[in-house]
């Protein structure tokens, strides 16, 4: 197990170099630079422009800039935002809990609906329920996130007025950040009004972000379940006279979960991509929205640091998923 | 009252050609402590018939029977719950592939204790003791250290022993063994068969042994049912069946045994078993039978009492009038070289 983790960790370094190099070069290919963006519509005279470029080090060759960036990175320095002059790492730290809160709720939403839907669809294969679940999940999977988000806002926020349009909590509430997760902080503060407000703000983005994982999980669970239900050991479990629920929920599900967990791990990457769109649509103050703003302002350090940190988190989550994979599948645990 | 009484059991599966019968009018009677062999080629319906008895016919198969009684209780009218209480407790079954028949995600100990927990309501401690006892009885060395093993860590033979331990956990009155040795090494096969038979003797439980191996049947069973294309063709005490087979199919099967060969080529039965959807209207074995007559091609014989058992044939081999009747029904004279002695 330890060796497995070390092998995986040794892949981290080349991946990080790849990520940083890609972001570093790509962002510099976008026309314009941070100084022009800062100057805005007033414009800036060429001499002052050149002077500032020198000050920020943008006049040097890209490779030299990259080398300097890497050496600072190695010392734990992610740089400061060109726009806010705040350290990238602290901005990320402030905004990240919002993204985590949204993502965790989205994946929980996807699991809570997707797993049972997939299981029931498999157990009642070819029933109306099965066809319904498969049809709906294909639709969900094919739906562009931004469009789906706008549709939900139109219905629930504009037409029905059930949920707020955007943001994370109503303005009248102020919750002292302890964990950074508003739902938890509101409960810690004992402010149930704030909790309800935060929850109602969370519902729509959670559904929007959770839709694609939900569709994938439901379909994956169904096909994994179908395969497992045809296995000999399910026949054995039934020959033992076990209650049907036990056969499905214990003997079948445990084995069907193996591919599903892999898929959930892969969905983490999808989740962050989705978070960028979802946060922008719902003005959710997380890292996704922060990165989009970073692109608009050509805020190089924010983009470089943000992408790198998100990449690191995706890799850690995938590593955890692989460890979990070994936990539920004893055949993997013992092979080296 | 017999332990098991099955009358006219049929199992049907829907297909493009309508319903097809995998098992067709099977009758089985079994007394307590009796050992019955069911032999037949692959696809002859021997496994599916027993799965029907267990209530395990895979979706979307349909089971029908005039009588399906275990200890006088009609299995068809039992509720789901009552049926489950019987399955795995009074009637247990082991399968062909021991390694895939055990759940790969749970330990041997867990899977064994589960049966005891569900049927006997044993708590963890009592179940653990009993599991160790059971593993000892099926000849697994160092049973305590095997409790936390997973099926993939044991050999096929060991896994089959675990399956047997699981099956006998609640002292069943009937054990169905579906080709229990087919997937195992030859050396292990004999051990597993010996184990099954000694357990059967010690506990006085009835045993149904499904196999396609005639040798296994002759060594172990008291009575044999020969199945072909979903039907029982002949059912007689083992000794007399081997001594003087009455059905041409049984005779051909016995002649095809390596033991029956004179050192030359092995005898074979020409033709193939009819598929599920192209069953002939008359005798199912007719197209491959050297004694077939126009009558046998039209009229399907019933399973009827004959000598010391049952037979499904118009012209049993031991019938003194058969040559005349075959000739009278327009058949050709029997070909002597197919005559079998065993």
Nearest to B88 among A230, A240, A330 (CB): A240
Name the residue in chain A with its Cα closest to that of B50: A239
Closest CB from B56, B104, B150 relative to A239: B56
Range of the domain at A119: 90-281
Interface probe for B, chosen from A125, A233, A259 (most Cβ of B below 10 Å), is A233
Residue in chain B nearest A230 by alpha carbon: B58
Q: Which residues of chain A have pLDDT under 50?
A: 336
Q: The domain containing residue B181 runs over which residues? A: 4-221
Q: Within 10 Å of residue B335's Cβ, how many Cβ atoms?
A: 9
Q: Are residues B298 and B314 in the same domain?
A: yes
A53 neighbors A59 (Cβ within 8 angstroms): yes
Tell me, yes or no, whether A319 lies in a domain: no
A45, A51, A57, A62: CA torsion to nearest 10: 50
Question: Does residue A216 contact residue A142 with C-beta atoms inside 8 Å?
Answer: no
Q: Residue A224 has what pLDDT?
A: 94
Domain boundary among B221, B246, B261: B221
Amino acid B338: pLDDT: 47
A239 inside domain: yes
Nearest CA in chain A to B94: A236
Same-domain pairing of B136 and B236:
no
From B51, B89, B103, residue closest to A251, measured CB to CB: B103
Q: Do B105 and A330 touch (CB under 8 A)?
A: yes
Residue B58 and residue B185 in one domain: yes
pLDDT at B339: 45
CATH of the domain at A193: 1.10.3720.10
Q: How high is the pLDDT of residue A333? A: 61
Alpha carbon B73 to chain centroid, angstroms? 22
Output the pLDDT for position B168: 92
For residue B228, the SS3 value is strand
A332 in a structural domain? no
ipTM value for the complex: 0.86
Nearest partner of B242 among B261, B223, B228, B227, judged by Cα: B223
Q: Cα(B270)–Cα(B283) distance, rounded to whole angstroms? A: 16
Q: What residues in B contact A238, CB-CB < 8 Å?
A: 55-56, 87
Peptide bond between residue B60 and the one before it cis (omega within 30 degrees of 0): yes
Give the closest-approach CA distance of B303 to chain A in angstroms: 30
Chain-chain contact of B92 with A328 (C-beta, under 8 angstroms): no
Q: Give the span between the Cα atoms of B77 and B69, in whole angstroms.
A: 10
Give domain status of residue A317, yes or no. Answer: no
Does residue A193 form part of some domain? Answer: yes
Nearest CB partner across the interface for B88, out of A239, A251, A254: A239
Helix pair A62-74, A12-29: axis angle to 10 deg: 140
DSSP for A277-327, please give it: HHHHHTT--SHHHHHHHHHHTT-HHHHHHHHHHHHHHHHHHHHHHHHHHHH
Given B56, B93, B104, which is nearest A255 (Cβ)?
Answer: B104
**Interface list for B 137-176 with A (CB within 8 A):** 150, 152-153, 163, 166
pLDDT at position A196 is 86
Instruction: Please report the pLDDT score of residue A296 as a whole number.
Output: 85
Of A232, A243, A328, the CB nearest to B100: A232
CA distance B87 to chain A (A): 5
A330 touches chain B (CB under 8 A): yes
Domain boundary (B221, B255, B274) is at B221
Write out the DSSP string of A92-160.
Answer: HHHHHHHHHHHHHHHHHHHHHHHHHHHHHHHHTTTSHHHHHHHHHHHHHHHS-HHHHHHHHIIIIIIIS
A189 belongs to a structural domain? yes
Instruction: Specify whether B186 is located in the same domain as B242.
Output: no
Q: What is the pLDDT along chain B (342 residues), one digit of tens a residue?
A: 889 999 999 999 888 878 888 898 899 999 999 999 999 888 888 889 999 999 888 878 899 999 999 998 999 899 989 999 999 999 999 998 999 999 999 999 999 999 999 999 999 999 999 999 999 989 899 999 999 999 999 999 999 999 999 999 999 999 999 999 888 888 888 889 999 999 999 999 999 999 988 888 888 899 999 999 889 999 999 999 999 999 999 998 888 888 777 777 888 888 888 877 788 888 898 888 888 888 888 888 988 998 899 999 988 988 888 888 888 887 765 555 444 444
Between positions 47 and 66 of B, the ones with CB within 8 A of A are 51, 54-56, 58
What was the pLDDT predicted at B103? 93
* Interface test mutation site (partner B, options A124, A226, A234, A236, max chain B beta carbons within 10 A): A236
Using a CB-CB cut-off of 8 Å, the residues of chain B touching A327 are none
- Looking at residue A1, what is its pLDDT? 67
d(Cα B140, Cα B163) in Å, to the nearest integer?
12
Distance from C-alpha of A153 to C-alpha of A164, rounded to nearest angstrom = 8
B108 lies in the same domain as B51: yes
Residue B31 confidence (pLDDT): 92
In this complex, is the C-beta atom of B118 within 8 Å of any C-beta atom belonging to chain A? yes
Decide which of B188, B204, B221 is a domain's last residue.
Answer: B221
Taking CA–CA distances from B170, the nearest residue in chain A reads A240
Q: Total structural domains in chain A? A: 1
Q: Which of B54, B101, B165 to mutate to test the interface with A (most CBs of A within 10 A)?
A: B101
Closest CA to A242 of B106, B27, B113, B142: B113
Q: In Å, what is the CA distance from A133 to each residue of A118, A126, B97, B266? A: 8, 11, 35, 56
Residues B58 and B192 in one domain: yes
Q: How many CA atoms lie within 13 A of B184 on its CB side?
A: 23
Taking the C-alpha atoms of residue B10 and residue B7, their distance in angstroms, rounded to an integer, is 9
- Measure in Å the smallest separation between the Cα of A125 and chain B Cα atoms: 10
| B95 touching chain A per CB within 8 A | yes
Question: How far A233 CA lies from chain B's nearest CA (Å)?
Answer: 4
- B43: part of which helix (H) or strand (E)? none
Specify the pLDDT at position B340. 47
Q: What pLDDT is attached to residue B333?
A: 55
What is the tally of structural domains in chain B?
2
**B106 contacts A236? CB cut-off 8 A:** no
Q: Are residues B88 and B174 in the same domain?
A: yes
Q: How many CB pairs under 8 A join A and B?
A: 76
The length of chain A, given as a count of residues: 336
- pLDDT for res B272: 84
Q: Could you tell me the CATH number of the domain that includes residue B190?
A: 3.40.50.300
How far is residue B32's CA from residue B205's CA, in Å, rounded to a whole number?
7
B32 and B159 fall within a common domain: yes
Tokens 């041997």, located at residue: B108
Q: Is position A2 within any domain?
A: no
DSSP state of B58: P
Q: CA of B93 to nearest chain A CA: how many angstroms apart?
A: 7
Distance separating alpha carbons of residues A165 and A320, to the nearest angstrom: 35
- Establish if B197 touches chain A: CB-CB under 8 angstroms: no
Looking at the DSSP assignment, which residues form a beta bridge with residue B93? B176
**Which residue of chain B comes nearest to A325, CA vs CA?**
B105
Q: Is residue A304 part of a domain?
A: no
Do the Cβ atoms of B334 and B326 come closer than 8 Å?
yes
Nearest CA in chain B to A328: B105
Q: What is the pLDDT of residue B332?
A: 66
């Amino acid at each position: 197990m330890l060796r497995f983790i070390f092998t995986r960790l040794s892949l981290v370094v080349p991946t990080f170099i790849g990520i940083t190099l890609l972001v570093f070069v790509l962002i510099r290919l976008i026309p314009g630079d941070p100084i022009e963006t800062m100057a805005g519509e007033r414009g800036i005279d060429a001499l002052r422009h050149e002077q500032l470029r020198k000050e920020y080090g943008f006049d040097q060759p890209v490779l030299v800039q990259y080398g300097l960036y890497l050496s600072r990175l190695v010392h734990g320095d992610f740089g400061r935002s060109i726009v806010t002059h705040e350290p990238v790492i602290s901005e990320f730290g402030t905004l990240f809990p919002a993204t985590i809160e949204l993502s965790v709720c989205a994946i929980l939403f996807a699991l809570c609906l997707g797993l049972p839907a997939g299981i029931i669809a498999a157990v009642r294969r070819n029933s109306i329920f099965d066809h319904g679940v498969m049809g709906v999940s294909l639709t969900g999977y094919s739906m562009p996130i931004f469009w789906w988000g706008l549709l939900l806002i139109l219905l629930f926020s504009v037409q029905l007025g059930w949920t707020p349009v955007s943001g994370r909590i109503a303005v009248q509430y102020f919750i002292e950040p302890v964990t950074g997760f508003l739902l938890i902080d509101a409960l810690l503060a004992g402010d149930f009004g704030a909790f309800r407000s935060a929850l109602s703000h969370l519902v729509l983005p959670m559904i929007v972000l959770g839709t694609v994982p939900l569709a994938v999980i439901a379909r994956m669970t169904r096909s994994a379940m179908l395969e497992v239900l045809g296995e000999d050991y399910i026949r054995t479990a039934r020959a033992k006279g076990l209650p049907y629920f036990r056969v499905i929920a214990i003997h079948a599900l445990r084995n069907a979960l193996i591919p599903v967990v892999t898929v959930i791990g892969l969905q983490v990457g999808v989740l962050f991509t989705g978070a960028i769109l979802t946060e922008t649509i719902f003005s959710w103050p997380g890292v996704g929205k922060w990165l989009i703003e970073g692109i608009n302002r050509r805020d190089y350090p924010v983009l470089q640091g943000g992408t790198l940190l998100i990449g690191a988190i995706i890799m850690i989550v995938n590593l955890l998923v692989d460890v979990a994979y070994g936990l539920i599948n004893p055949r993997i645990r013992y092979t080296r | 009252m017999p332990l098991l009484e099955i009358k006219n059991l049929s199992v049907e599966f829907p297909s493009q050609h309508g319903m097809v019968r995998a098992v067709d009018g099977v009758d089985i009677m079994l007394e307590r402590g009796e050992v019955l062999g069911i032999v037949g080629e692959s696809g002859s319906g021997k496994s599916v018939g027993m799965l029907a008895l267990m209530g395990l016919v895979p979706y979307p198969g349909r089971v029908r029977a005039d009588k399906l009684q275990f200890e006088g209780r009609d299995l068809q009218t039992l509720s789901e719950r009552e049926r489950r209480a019987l399955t795995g407790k009074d009637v247990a079954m082991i399968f062909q592939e021991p390694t895939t028949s055990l759940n790969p995600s749970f330990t041997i100990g867990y899977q064994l204790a589960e049966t005891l927990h569900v049927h006997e309501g044993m708590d963890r401690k009592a179940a653990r003791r009993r599991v160790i006892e059971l593993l000892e009885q099926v000849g697994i060395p160092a049973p305590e250290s095997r409790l936390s093993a997973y099926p993939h860590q044991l050999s096929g033979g060991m896994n089959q022993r675990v399956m047997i331990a699981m099956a006998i956990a609640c002292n069943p009155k009937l054990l169905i063994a579906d080709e229990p040795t087919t997937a195992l090494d030859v050396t292990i096969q004999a051990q597993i068969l010996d184990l099954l038979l000694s357990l059967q003797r010690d506990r006085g439980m009835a045993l149904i042994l499904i196999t396609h191996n005639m040798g296994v049947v002759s060594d172990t069973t008291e009575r044999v049912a020969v199945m072909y294309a979903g039907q029982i063709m002949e059912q007689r005490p083992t000794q007399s069946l081997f001594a003087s087979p009455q059905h041409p199919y049984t005779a051909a099967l016995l002649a095809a045994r390596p033991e029956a060969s004179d050192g030359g080529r092995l005898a074979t039965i020409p033709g193939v078993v009819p598929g599920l959807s192209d069953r002939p209207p008359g005798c199912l074995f007719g197209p491959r039978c050297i004694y077939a007559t126009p009558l046998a091609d039209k009229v399907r014989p019933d399973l009827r009492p004959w000598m010391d058992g049952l037979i499904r044939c118009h012209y049993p081999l031991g019938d003194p009038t058969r040559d005349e009747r075959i000739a009278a029904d327009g058949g050709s004279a029997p070909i002597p070289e197919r005559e079998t002695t065993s």
